[in-house]
Amino acid sequence: MPLYADIMNQLAGDIESGKYGPDASLPSEKELCATFKASRTCVRQALRKLQERRYVYKRQGSGTFVNPISVKRGARSI
């Protein structure tokens, strides 16, 4: 399994478990790179996939945030 998929699954699990609540900010790309020992490209791909699956949304200049809709419905059902 590619590293970006591992990162994506870990973050999705954290969102589903309630570690990150609705509209909560995820760690920065730089922090995620350090946590997962991955390149920024890899982290960005994981975040892009989470955004496609509606787990998160991005605000330019502010970061990546948990989509409240995914928390209410149960993100796996989207």
Q: What is the pLDDT of residues 30-45, one digit of tens each?
A: 999 999 999 999 999 9
Q: Per-residue DSSP letters for 8-77?
A: HHHHHHHHHHTSS-TTPBPPPHHHHHHHHT--HHHHHHHHHHHHHTTSEEEETTTEEEE-HHHHHH-GGG
In angstroms, rounded to a whole number, what is the distance separating the alpha carbons of residues 48 and 68?
17
CB distance 50 to 11 below 8 Å: yes
Q: What is the pLDDT of residues 14-68, one digit of tens each?
A: 999 999 999 999 999 999 999 999 999 999 999 999 999 999 999 999 999 999 9
Number of Cβ atoms within 10 Å of the Cβ of 53: 15
